[in-house]
Amino acid sequence: MNLLEGKTYVVMGVANQRSIAWGIARSLHSAGAKLIFTYATERMEKSVRDLAATLEGQESLVLPCDVTSDEDVASCFKAIKEAVGTIHGVAHCIAFANKEELKGEYLNTNREGFLLAQNISAYSLTAVAKEARTLMTEGGSIVTLTYLGGERAIKNYNVMGVAKASLEASVKYLASDLGKDGIRVNAISAGPIRTLSAKGVSDFNSILREIEERAPLRRATTTEEVGDTAVYLFSHLSRGVTGENIHVDSGYHVL
């Protein structure tokens, strides 16, 4: 089913083949979409280019975009505009916090660490939406990734949980602003998945084990499951849905 045939999406936050962003990219590709990738630092460039090259039948544009820089975000979307004109959506799969602050008590978060997590993990969605809007002339959909730690105090998630709460509130305000342009904004709250970022969260293994043992579906979330939900959120099937946070976590959030 080529639900996204003729559509172009920007995928931000691929670090390697385990990245949730890469799961999303594969699902969007299978649904017939054309993809553009962005990477944060030169260190990531090769890995993103190599992965993008594995997508059959398309040569994807791959561009630098450090979301902590307004100039970077603006020049990235300017380059996208010059290359393709119109886009139909963005997958924002970006987060960062200092590793020392992803363990122990949240109370020990310092101002710098707090602002860093907010900057990269929450504000970046607003910065990206502002630029993307100008290219989304046919309307479309913006999807970001969050975690249950934004709704509940989850051990060790700490400053990232506070950033996710801010990200989830941003989804609602952006949905409210952009609805009149036919642009929908939603979040996917993914269950824990073993990625590079997840390695930063202290005792991640026990969080994973808890899902496998107690979640209604009794298994860990996969990047494919998140990717397929992203296809739904990017496609016309979800045309009445905006400002929403869909949990793709084997049902763990109902417990």
Annotated binding residues for NAD(+), as ranges? 13, 19-20, 66-67, 94, 164, 193-197
- Residue 9 known to be catalytic: no
Here's the x/- map for ligand 0WD, 206-225, by CB under 6 A: it reads as --------------------
Ordered strands of the 183-190 beta sheet:
61-64, 34-39, 8-12, 89-92, 140-146, 183-190, 245-248
Contact call for residue 193 and ligand 0WD (CB under 6 A) = yes
Does residue number 20 form part of the binding site for ligand 0WD (CB under 6 A)?
Answer: yes
Least distance (Å) from ligand 0WD to the CB of residue 198?
Answer: 4
Told to judge if 232 belongs to the known catalytic residues of this protein, a careful annotator would answer: no
Q: Does residue 115 bind ligand 0WD (CB under 6 A)?
A: no
Are 155 and 210 a contacting pair, CB within 8 Å? no
Distance between terminal CA atoms of the chain? 34
Contact between residue 232 and residue 238 where contact means Cβ atoms under 8 Å apart: yes
Q: Which of 39, 157, 232, 252 is catalytic?
A: 157
26, 91 Cβ separation under 8 angstroms: no
| Residue 111 to residues 101, 119, 149, Cα–Cα distance (Å) | 11, 12, 20
Q: Does 27 bind ligand 0WD (CB under 6 A)?
A: no
Q: Give yes or no for residue 142 binding ligand 0WD (CB under 6 A).
A: no
145 binds ligand 0WD (CB under 6 A): yes
13 binds ligand 0WD (CB under 6 A): yes
Residue found by looking up tokens 């005792």 in the block: 203
Over the range 109-130, which residues count as b (16 or more CB within 10 Å of their CB) and which as e?
beeebbebbbebbbbbbebbbb
- The yes or no reply on residue 190 touching ligand 0WD (CB under 6 A) is yes
Active site members: 147, 157
Residues of the shown chain interacting with ligand 0WD in the complex, contacts defined by CB under 6 A: 13, 15, 19-21, 40, 44, 65-68, 93-96, 120, 145-147, 190, 192-193, 195-198
